[in-house]
């Protein structure tokens, strides 16, 4: 039971005893006491005056006195203008720690019976994953873990954008410029090779545009008339017509990319429960368009194109079907959403997509609602800001991106360098050290990205992320390793039973227990806000508070066996909570560093 719920329960008893009135516990307002006042939690007494028929302070004093006299977990109170500030006794904090220490699923909230799909990653098969994809993947994965911890059944999904003119651009460049090169012949990961093709197309296209402009063609017209662009569009038409040669080339190059993606996902610890491909879903939604036409949701223009007029909703007209009958992107999204809600019997659907698509998802939800789908209100767009570098924005077609594989490797190398300089791992085997370097490097990368509120644009600096001090993944990992070291050196057995009502925790130990008790609430908060940053920054506060405690408290030098066992159980529970919190972010914590 949370501190707030405990006070609600006991305050309801007090009101019944003092005034003979039954008040629903949920109606009582309780919050953490403000720092300028003495107390742990505050009960708002203003709403109770119509029951007590007393002044605010008199009401607070009466309830506070009853609680101190009748509830051993509450030791003091003060009433200030309608706010009753209550201080817990050591009995309460000991009961709380004992409950947390004995709860193997601490932080896991009760089952809700809800099924939620989280779609993330959704890469294009014309380039490898880059830093922007890493933020998307880490957000999607951690949000999925958090929603599961909130008691939901979670389905992790992705849709691979494996068709379209951008895919044909890479295919065309491979045919023209790469002389039959393969991942095997070049020694390159397949997604990197195809990404090189995409960059090569852009160079070829720009050269053609420059040549046309030099011959007197206006630049905008030259961009449309460039031969390579026309060929790419022709290749797309052939793909849609199932041309055998184009389809064979498409399948071969996509297989290279899929193999490359799988390697990167494995390095990041990312998995999916459901994988869709645009080549299989792009025709979905056409039936919905026909339904919308029949119901007057859509209108058909003279050229045969179909539109949804959203001007009355403060938006504009949205194309849902071209004049030649071909789908546009939102047509696919309409159909895919219907299929997912129907097949998976979803209660809600979260799309993890950058904020440049805010308008798209606003339109998607509105159209689905107009089509009569009640679940449209249960679609959520986790709109996140872009990742930028000190040098500015990244551009895939110009090859100025931070490649995901290169970044993961560089983080590993930085972790290895920093760890070797410490000289503390000499007695570990080579394989143990390699595993540790991977854990630290990946933890640094994940934490640096996840700790930023998703809605904010972030600046990524690899050197800052690997720092062993400050608000970083390695700092939390090192804190956990330090706790594990203390526990290994302990010569006495300990367990939840060593936290008794008669234990006398210090002020710093009570502070740690308070922080530990916040964990379930932080999980709920992160789930409601779809913000892993809530968990990341909670883990940092917990690690920081432990380090201050460790600095002031020589744990293993304690001579009183009962106090020693209490402290060991306290820090063991803290280490377990750190593992749980960081596990929600997909970050492992080592036992040695």
179 and 59 co-located in one domain: no
The helix/strand/coil state of 537 is helix
- The whole-angstrom separation of Cα 538 and Cα 182 is 47
Between the two ends of the chain, the Cα-to-Cα distance in Å is 35
Within 102-226, residue ranges assigned H as helices are 131-149, 165-177, 183-186, 190-214, 219-225
- The whole-angstrom separation of Cα 459 and Cα 387 is 6
415 and 561 co-located in one domain: yes
The answer to whether 571 and 483 are in contact (CB under 8 A) is yes
Predicted confidence at residue 458, as pLDDT, reads 85
The answer to whether 453 and 531 are in contact (CB under 8 A) is yes
Structure tokens given for 511: 């502070």
Domain range holding 10?
3-88
Predicted confidence at residue 392, as pLDDT, reads 52
Cα distances from 370 to residues 298, 325, 346, 383, 466, in angstroms, run 10, 22, 19, 23, 49
Inside any domain, residue 360: no
pLDDT in tens, the chain (593 residues): 889 999 999 999 999 999 999 999 999 999 999 989 999 999 999 999 999 999 999 999 999 999 999 999 999 999 998 999 999 999 999 999 999 999 999 999 999 999 999 999 999 999 899 888 999 999 999 999 999 999 999 999 999 999 889 999 999 999 999 999 999 999 999 999 999 999 999 999 999 999 999 999 999 999 999 999 999 999 999 998 999 999 999 999 999 999 999 999 999 999 999 999 999 888 889 999 999 999 999 999 999 999 999 999 999 999 999 888 878 889 999 999 999 999 999 999 999 999 999 999 999 999 999 999 999 999 999 999 988 776 655 444 444 568 889 889 988 888 888 878 777 777 788 888 899 999 999 999 999 999 999 999 888 776 676 666 788 999 999 999 999 999 999 989 998 888 887 788 999 999 999 999 999 999 999 999 999 999 999 999 999 999 999 999 989 998 889 999 999 999 999 999 999 999 999 999 999 88
* Dihedral pair phi/psi, residue 567, rounded to 5°: -65, -40
Q: Which residue has the tokens 């691979």?
A: 160
77 and 188 co-located in one domain: no
Inside any domain, residue 422: yes
425 and 549 co-located in one domain: yes
- The whole-angstrom separation of Cα 17 and Cα 100 is 31
* Dihedral pair phi/psi, residue 116, rounded to 5°: -125, 135
Tell me which of 39, 60, 88 is where a domain ends.
88
Q: How many CB atoms lie within 10 A of CB 41?
A: 20
82 and 168 co-located in one domain: no
574 and 478 co-located in one domain: yes
171 and 261 co-located in one domain: yes
- The whole-angstrom separation of Cα 31 and Cα 41 is 6
* Dihedral pair phi/psi, residue 141, rounded to 5°: -65, -45
Inside any domain, residue 127: no
58 and 202 co-located in one domain: no
The sign one gets for the Cα dihedral 385, 542, 94, 44 is negative
- Residue 254: enclosing H or E segment and its boundaries? helix 244-268
- The whole-angstrom separation of Cα 155 and Cα 164 is 27
423 and 525 co-located in one domain: yes
The burial of 547, by beta-carbon neighbours within 10 Å (0-12 exposed, 13-18 middle, 19 or more buried), is given as middle
- The whole-angstrom separation of Cα 40 and Cα 583 is 29
- Residue 160: enclosing H or E segment and its boundaries? strand 153-160
Inside any domain, residue 136: no
548 and 433 co-located in one domain: yes
Q: Roughly what angle, to the nearest 10 degrees, separates helices 244-268 and 404-422?
A: 20
Q: How many CB atoms lie within 10 A of CB 592?
A: 15
Predicted confidence at residue 394, as pLDDT, reads 44
Within 269-309, residue ranges assigned H as helices are 278-281, 286-295
Q: What is the largest CA-CA distance in the chain?
A: 95
- 338 closest CA partner among 376, 307, 293: 376
Model confidence, pTM = 0.90
Tell me which of 32, 59, 88 is where a domain ends.
88
Sequence-distant (≥ 6) Cβ neighbours of residue 278 within 8 angstroms = 159, 160, 161, 162, 163, 164, 332
79 and 168 co-located in one domain: no
Cα distances from 250 to residues 130, 172, 302, 503, in angstroms, run 22, 10, 35, 69
Distance of CA 261 to the CA centre of its chain: 20
Inside any domain, residue 116: no
The answer to whether 39 and 80 are in contact (CB under 8 A) is no
Structure tokens given for 371: 């089509």
**CATH classification at residue 428:** 1.10.730.10
The helix/strand/coil state of 423 is coil
Q: How many CB atoms lie within 10 A of CB 174?
A: 24
- 381 closest CA partner among 402, 357, 399, 398: 357
The helix/strand/coil state of 585 is coil
Structure tokens given for 83: 């706010």
Inside any domain, residue 497: yes
The answer to whether 421 and 491 are in contact (CB under 8 A) is no
Domain count, the chain: 3
Q: How many CB atoms lie within 10 A of CB 351?
A: 23
Inside any domain, residue 7: yes
Inside any domain, residue 251: yes
DSSP 8-state code for residue 492 = S
Tell me which of 222, 250, 274 is where a domain ends.
274
75 and 200 co-located in one domain: no
**CATH classification at residue 26:** 3.30.1360.70
The answer to whether 27 and 15 are in contact (CB under 8 A) is no
The sign one gets for the Cα dihedral 368, 370, 372, 374 is positive
């Amino acid at each position: 039971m949370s501190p707030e719920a405990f006070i609600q329960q006991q305050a309801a008893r007090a009101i019944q005893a003092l005034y003979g009135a039954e008040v629903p516990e949920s109606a009582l307002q309780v919050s953490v006491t403000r720092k300028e006042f003495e107390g742990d939690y505050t009960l708002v007494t203003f709403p109770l005056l119509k029951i007590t028929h007393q002044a605010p302070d008199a009401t607070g004093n009466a309830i506070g006195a009853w609680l101190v006299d009748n509830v051993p977990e509450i030791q003091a109170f003060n009433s200030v203008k309608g706010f009753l500030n209550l201080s817990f006794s050591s009995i309460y904090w000991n009961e709380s720690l004992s409950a947390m220490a004995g709860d193997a699923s601490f932080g896991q909230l009760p089952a809700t019976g809800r099924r939620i799909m989280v779609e993330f990653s959704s890469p294009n098969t014309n380039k490898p994953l880059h830093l922007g994809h890493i933020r998307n993947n880490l957000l999607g994965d951690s949000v999925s873990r958090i929603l599961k911890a909130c008691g939901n059944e979670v389905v992790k999904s992705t849709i691979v954008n494996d068709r379209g003119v951008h895919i044909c651009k890479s295919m065309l460049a491979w045919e023209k410029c790469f002389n039959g090169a393969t991942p095997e012949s070049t020694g390159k990961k397949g997604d990197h090779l195809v990404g090189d093709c995409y960059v090569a197309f852009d160079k070829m296209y720009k050269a053609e545009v420059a040549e046309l402009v030099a011959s007197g063609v206006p630049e905008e017209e030259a961009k449309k008339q460039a031969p390579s662009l026309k060929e790419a569009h022709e290749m797309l038409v052939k793909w849609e017509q199932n041309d055998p040669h184009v389809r064979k080339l498409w399948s071969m190059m996509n297989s290279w990319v899929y193999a490359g993606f799988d390697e990167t996902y494995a390095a990041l610890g990312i998995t999916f429960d459901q994988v869709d491909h645009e080549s299989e879903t792009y025709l979905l939604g056409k039936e919905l368009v026909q339904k919308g036409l029949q119901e007057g949701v859509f209108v058909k223009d003279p050229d045969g194109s179909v539109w949804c007029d959203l001007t009355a909703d403060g938006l504009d007209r949205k194309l849902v079907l071209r004049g030649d009958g071909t789908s546009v992107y939102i047509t696919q999204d309409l159909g895919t959403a219907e299929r997912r809600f129907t097949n998976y019997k979803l209660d809600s659907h979260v799309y993890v997509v950058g904020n440049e698509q805010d308008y798209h998802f606003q339109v998607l939800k509105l159209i689905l609602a107009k089509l009569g789908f009640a679940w449209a209100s249960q679609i959520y767009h986790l709109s996140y800001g872009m990742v930028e570098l000190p040098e500015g924005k990244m551009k895939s077609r110009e090859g100025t991106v931070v490649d995901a594989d290169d970044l993961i490797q560089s983080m590993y190398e930085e972790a290895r360098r920093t760890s070797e300089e410490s000289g503390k791992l000499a007695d570990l085997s080579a394989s143990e050290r390699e595993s540790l370097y991977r854990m630290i490097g990946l933890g640094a990368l994940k934490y640096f990205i996840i700790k930023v509120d998703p809605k904010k644009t972030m600046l990524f600096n690899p050197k800052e992320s690997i720092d062993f001090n400050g608000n970083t993944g390695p700092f939390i990992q090192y804190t956990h390793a330090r706790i594990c070291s203390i526990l290994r050196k302990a010569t006495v057995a300990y367990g939840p039973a060593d936290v008794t009502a008669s234990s006398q925790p210090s002020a710093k130990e009570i502070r740690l227990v308070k922080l530990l008790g916040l964990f379930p609430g932080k999980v709920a908060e992160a789930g409601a806000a779809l913000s892993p940053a809530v968990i990341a920054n909670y883990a940092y506060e917990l690690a920081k508070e432990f380090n201050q405690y460790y600095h002031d408290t020589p744990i293993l030098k304690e001579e009183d066996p009962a106090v020693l066992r209490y402290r060991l159980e306290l820090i063991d529970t803290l280490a377990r909570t750190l593992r749980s919190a960081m596990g929600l972010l997909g970050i492992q914590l080592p036992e040695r560093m």
